[in-house]
Amino acid sequence: DIVMTQTPSSQAVSAGEKVTMSCKSSQSLLYSENKKNYLAWYQQKPGQSPKLLISWASTRESGVPDRFIGSGSGTDFTLTISSVQAEDLAVYYCEQYYDTPYTFGAGTKLELK
């Protein structure tokens, strides 16, 4: 199985701060045939279902604010929130869909400082 490691597990932030969180995979998620990274980022707020923010490591879903930026390739990926808003307080998960079993990281919880 591909192991997904997210850091930090939690982060206290203030509104307006820039936030970065990391996701590392135990093997490359870059498919050589199409040069795509099979990595997604999800946001889960309390009591809600996860919501897809970023697919293919860096493609923002329609309607997702442009303060959410996905980057990275191969085994190292980052989700950046350029200026955190109060509504961004949530748990963020990365997921690899390169190979089954699909696997998720343990999550990064954004909390208010």
Partner 1 sequence: QVTLKESGPGILQPSQTLSLTCTFSGFSLSTYGMGVGWIRQPSGKGLEWLANIWWDDDKYYNPSLKNRLTISKDTSNNQAFLKITNVDTADTATYYCARICPMDAWGQGASVTVSS
User: Does position 14 bind partner 1 by CB under 8 A?
Assistant: no
User: Does position 77 bind partner 1 by CB under 8 A?
Assistant: no
User: Does position 52 bind partner 1 by CB under 8 A?
Assistant: yes
DSSP 3-state of 104:
strand
Q: Which is nearer to partner 1, 17 or 104 (CB)?
A: 104
Which residue in this structure is represented by tokens 């293919």?
56
User: Does position 34 bind partner 1 by CB under 8 A?
Assistant: no
User: Does position 95 bind partner 1 by CB under 8 A?
Assistant: yes
User: Does position 49 bind partner 1 by CB under 8 A?
Assistant: yes
Which of 55, 58, 75, 108 binds partner 1 (CB under 8 A)? It is: 55
- Cα separation of 32 and 21, whole Å? 26
All residues at 6 or more sequence positions from 12 whose CB lies less than 8 Å from its CB, including other chains:
111, 112, 113
The tokens describing 20, both together, are 């970065």
Supply angle C-alpha 68, 72, 77, rounded to 5: 75
Which of 23, 42, 70, 110 binds partner 1 (CB under 8 A)? It is: 42
User: Does position 93 bind partner 1 by CB under 8 A?
Assistant: yes
The tokens describing 59, both together, are 């493609």
